[in-house]
Amino acid sequence: MDRVLSGTTAMEGMIEKRSHRQREIIARLRSGRTLSVAALAVDLEVSEETVRRELRALEDQGVIIREHGGARIATQVHEGPLHQRMEENADAKQRIARAAADLVPDGGIVFIDSGTTSCFIARQLLDRRALTVITNSLNVASDLGGINNNRLFLAGGQMDYDYRAFSDHSAQAFVRGLTPHLAILSVGGISLDRGLMDFHPGEAEMSKIAYATSQRVLLAADASKFGRYALVQTATLSDVDILVTDKPLDDDFARAFAHAEVVIA
């Protein structure tokens, strides 16, 4: 009997260890980045084969997706409300915003999307004069409309209260008819193989329109977006003219954005 109990206890301990490891793996993947087997093994202080075994189990559960010697969390379909996202990586977004604002001249015609980093950038443009601002963001409109002889074009339609923005067919049709000098865009994820992605289908379509109609595109993205996947593809990496980010790019992304002006905030 003692042997049976001892064996049962050992099995329970093994199950608990595996469960703990899997929770730790999920916690590390929640950023949306793809992490390698080797990196996870070092971080968890286990063998690479142990990590592979746990990844297989998580893949079978539909929690993660294995790829290229690593894994990522299964694609999220929603980012959360704007006020919550404004608090994520706020320091990095603030640095990016200051650097990006330096690239916007007085008198420019600028499309600004409704992403959180774009909202930070809008706040840094309060001293610009005679801007023509095109936006689908209620926050951007509130910050930049009615000051410094600015003109404001706000895309209207049905409001998404989580995003505080308009991105339905009416809003898309309005933006499609305008031709800004510069589009300031945010992004949900940046991947070497899938390009630029967003979570919200309507917001993704607004980005596609901006890429197609703007003379130049400034993409503002903090380091957490690189290697991260989102729901809808919006553009290729080659469509970006200016990339403003908060950390130096790794070699693969540096090569992928070699065509663009890269500003490290």
Share of the chain above pLDDT 90, in %: 64
Q: With CA atoms as reference, report the closest residue to 50 among 17, 72, 83.
A: 17
- Residue written as token pair 């049709």: 173
235, 196 in Cβ contact below 8 A? yes
Least confidently predicted of 20-24, 76-80, 141-145, 258-262: 76-80
Please give the pLDDT value at position 5.
47
Give the model confidence (pLDDT) of 108-136 as tens digits. 999 999 999 999 999 999 999 999 999 99
Least confidently predicted of 14-18, 137-141, 204-208: 14-18
Please give the pLDDT value at position 134.
98
User: Could you tell me the residue ranges of all domains in the chain?
Assistant: 2-73, 82-264
Average pLDDT over residues 54-58: 86
Please give the pLDDT value at position 48.
92
Helix and strand numbers, DSSP H then E, in the chain: 10, 15
Q: Are strands 182-185 and 216-220 parallel, antiparallel or unpaired?
A: parallel
The band of 81, judged by pLDDT with boundaries at 50, 70 and 90, is: low
Which top CATH class is 2-73? mainly alpha
The band of 229, judged by pLDDT with boundaries at 50, 70 and 90, is: confident
Task: Report the CATH number of the 82-264 domain.
Answer: 3.40.50.1360
Give, for 152, the enclosing helix (H) or strand (E). strand 151-154
Dihedrals φ, ψ of 195, to 5°? 80, -140
Average pLDDT over residues 217-224: 96
Judged against a pLDDT cut of 50, whether residue 17 lies above it is answered with yes
Q: How far apart are CA 111 and CA 181, in angstroms?
A: 8
Dihedrals φ, ψ of 190, to 5°? -130, 120
The answer to whether the pTM exceeds 0.85 is no
